[in-house]
A and B are shown apart, each in its own frame.
Chain A
Amino acid sequence: MLKVIGGFIGGVLVVAVLGYNFMGNLMFREIRSPFGVEETVARIQQNIQNTGNGWALSGLRNPGKAVENDGGNTLPVMMIEACSTQYSGPILKDDSVRFLSILMPCKISVYKKNDGATYIGMMNAGLMGRMFGPMVGEIMGHVAEDQEKFIQFDPGKPAPAMSKATPGGGAGGSGSGAAGGC
């Protein structure tokens, strides 16, 4: 009996450790972009605006600028912030899941690595959503579907201009996010 219980606890621990190690990979994704940083950003921005479902750009952050102001260097990083009131509304109205506002606005990160290539980092919204009940799960499922559209590129189309300024706001930040419709 002791062996059975011991084995069970052991099994649980192994799964827990494995889960802990793979959680990062499950919760976030990284894909390689065929374009440079600016063009990747611009194409994602364009996709976001073409997706409908209430999506709007709410900011473009460059965390590298803060490092530069401190006298240091980073390879370029740009964070595209987008929001859809259609999806954010129901979550924000429900007290039990309002804390999920920390995930808003929806962020996609575009950055260069030392191999010179550009990468796109994003959250696995579908999986994340399922952890917080059916309502959030369903919404985040839609977000995940839309996110897929954000990173579908048509190389045949010419590169759009990167929009540094967001509707009603400056170059990113909370103020512009508010003005962006969320």
Chain B
Amino acid sequence: MTTNKIYVFKRFERFWHWSQAMLIIFMLITGFEVHGSYPLFGFAKAVDLHTLSAWTLIGLWVFAIFWHFTTGEWKQYIPTTEKMIAMIRFYSVGIFKGAPHPFRPTTLKKHNPLQRLAYLGVLLLIGPLLWLSGWFYLFYADWQAWGVDNVLSLEWVALFHTAGAFMMLAFLIAHVYLTTTGHTPTSHIRAMLTGWEEVD
């Protein structure tokens, strides 16, 4: 059995992924401090860092959205049922028996069907939930000018924002673990670092 390598993640994609990963982890850390879960940086510092990371992430996303659509990479997230059952069987049974990975990434289809679904969930549910609630959180003082002060309450905005954060945290834990389920435990991570994925 020979090991093949294919080029899956382009330079910008890898930069986007890792900088986003760091920002999200940092925002979880600072965010839960602002939430009052633990003391770390001190409330004021945590708020500053959280806000700064948010703006950085917004900037990053503006580029990422632009990149995804101009390169057509956005299609990677269109959900599909193809091999879905096979993937579920693999994660729940096959992986323990050393069965081969049912999905073979290519440059055009780099995510397996469960990944597609999970990332789409992050992009369409957790992401917007955090973005939208975070945006209103940040511009709390302008609600009156925007005419939304009678519709929104900070309590609910904070509730949704926190809920999004918890979902993101759960995603992060699962995501980090699932990176070890590739051809070898490190092949996914190596792919995200170098761009080249080892496949069977």
Direct contact of A and B (CB under 8 A): no
